[in-house]
Amino acid sequence: MNTRYVVGFVFNKSMTRVALIRKNRPSWQAGKLNGIGGHIEERETAVKAMEREFYEETGVMINELKWEKVGVMYRDDEDYFQCHFFRYISVNEDIDFLAPGITDEKVEVHCLNDLSESLSNVPWLIGMCLDLNPGDFSSYSIKATIGKKGASK
């Protein structure tokens, strides 16, 4: 089972709008907005997967060299998964050309102050992507324990 994923957030030039995808699957995401992404294929780098997945969902090619890696969230127990997060800040103010995408899951462009229909973690992931702190955080990782089986709610 492939448990390695990528998720990307594309922002307009002023970083006031973001492209998101309205999910149909998996069922727990159905109807909600998420970043654009998917599975990392065998022998594929995360950034190459980001380039490919974004193209497959939108029909727009953003070269792997333009995606900025923001972080990795992972769980290393029996339910291992890994998710790499990327951002791309467009040189254009208008990113509406990304919508509606080219699959049955529609791409939508939203103002950052209107994320009420997103998955619960999307607002803080977007916040992380908007942080332009010039510090070197390349060696940092996020270890997720959120949603672990048997965890109290």
Q: Which residues contact 98 (CB under 8 A, 6 or more apart)?
A: 10, 19, 58, 60, 107, 109
The bridge status of strand 4-11 relative to strand 17-22 is antiparallel
Asked if omega into 100 is within 30° of 0 (cis), the reply is: yes
The bridge status of strand 33-34 relative to strand 17-22 is antiparallel
Q: Which CATH number fits domain 4-143: 3.40.630.10, 1.10.3720.10, 3.60.150.10, 3.90.79.10?
A: 3.90.79.10
| Cα–Cα distance for residue pair 124/129, rounded to 1 Å | 9
Token pair for 62: 């953003």
Low-confidence winner among 59-68, 103-112, 141-150 (lowest mean pLDDT): 141-150
pTM for the full predicted model: 0.87
**pLDDT tens by residue, 18-38:** 999 999 999 999 999 999 999
Average pLDDT, the chain: 89
| Tokens 């970083």, located at residue | 15
Q: What are phi and psi of 74, to 5 degrees?
A: -150, 160
Centroid of chain to Cα 86: 6
pLDDT bracket for residue 73 (50, 70, 90): confident
Q: What is the average per-residue pLDDT within 3-7?
A: 95
| Cα–Cα distance for residue pair 150/136, rounded to 1 Å | 35
Q: What is the average per-residue pLDDT within 119-128?
A: 94
C-alpha separations of 59 from 30, 85, 101 in Å: 22, 20, 7
